[in-house]
Amino acid sequence: MRQPELTPLASSASLPEPGIMGRGLGGLFFVLALAIFGFSLYNAAHAAGVAGTHGTLTVERCWVKQGSRSSSDTTVCGGTFRSDDGKITDDEASIRAKVKSGSKVSVQQAGGSYVRVGFGETTRWIALFFLGWLVVAFGMSFVATGRFPRSGMQVAMITRAVSGTRVGAVRKWFVGVGLAGSGVCLLLTLLAWLLS
């Protein structure tokens, strides 16, 4: 019995022409990655206790905040925040968490919001930082080739077009660091959660 020949990926669809749209798409991924880096490092610094004002949130009640179609529901607990030095009190403090009423939660004040403090919380935010590396890696192919994909097949073809080049090597390194870093951080987060 004769096996069917495998057709190369390039024969099933054609690559779009290089242009400003492809480079713009890649640039958009870089901007998104910068936002992820900033957001995750800001929250990681607060969760580690490096930035912000440390204190305790005494939980008075919890409620479910309805999510939109694209996001799930979130449990929010609110109560009174008191800083360790006693200078700051906020009766309308809240955090995204599911804890019992009357619980005292160690938090860090981050501007107008509050972030839970602890090793598990810090590693969770650092995991998000490493996921930003994957966003950068995804955008590299579009910046390097200038090609704007119009289908999932074209995304795969554009990614394949940079393999074997310097951009491909750097992209592979970014993917490896992003996956390894986020995997280790999520594992540490899970261990911290299991041990608490």
Q: Is 130 a domain residue?
A: yes
The amino acid occupying position 3 is Q
Q: Is 7 a domain residue?
A: no
Q: Is 69 a domain residue?
A: yes
Do residues 127 and 183 both lie within one domain?
Answer: yes
Q: Which residues pair with 27 in a beta bridge?
A: none
The amino acid occupying position 189 is T
Do residues 66 and 37 both lie within one domain?
Answer: no
Give the angle subtended at the CA of 144 by the CAs of 140 and 148, to the nearest 5°.
85
- Single residue among 90, 117, 144 that ends a domain in this structure: 117
What is the three-class DSSP state of 62?
strand
Do residues 33 and 74 both lie within one domain?
Answer: no
Convert the pLDDT of each residue in 167-190 to its tens digit: 999 999 999 999 999 999 999 999
Cβ-contact 106, 113 below 8 angstroms: no
- Single residue among 117, 137, 161 that ends a domain in this structure: 117
Do residues 96 and 125 both lie within one domain?
Answer: no
Cβ-Cβ contacts under 8 Å for 27 (sequence gap 6 or more): 139, 143
Convert the pLDDT of each residue in 40-94 to its tens digit: 999 999 999 899 899 999 999 988 887 666 667 788 889 999 999 888 889 988 8
Higher-confidence position of 34 and 102: 34
Do residues 128 and 174 both lie within one domain?
Answer: yes
- Single residue among 100, 117, 134 that ends a domain in this structure: 117
Do residues 71 and 102 both lie within one domain?
Answer: yes
Do residues 40 and 126 both lie within one domain?
Answer: yes
Q: Is 2 a domain residue?
A: no
Phi-psi region of 73 (alpha: psi -120 to 50; beta: other; left: phi over 0): beta
Count structural domains, the chain: 2
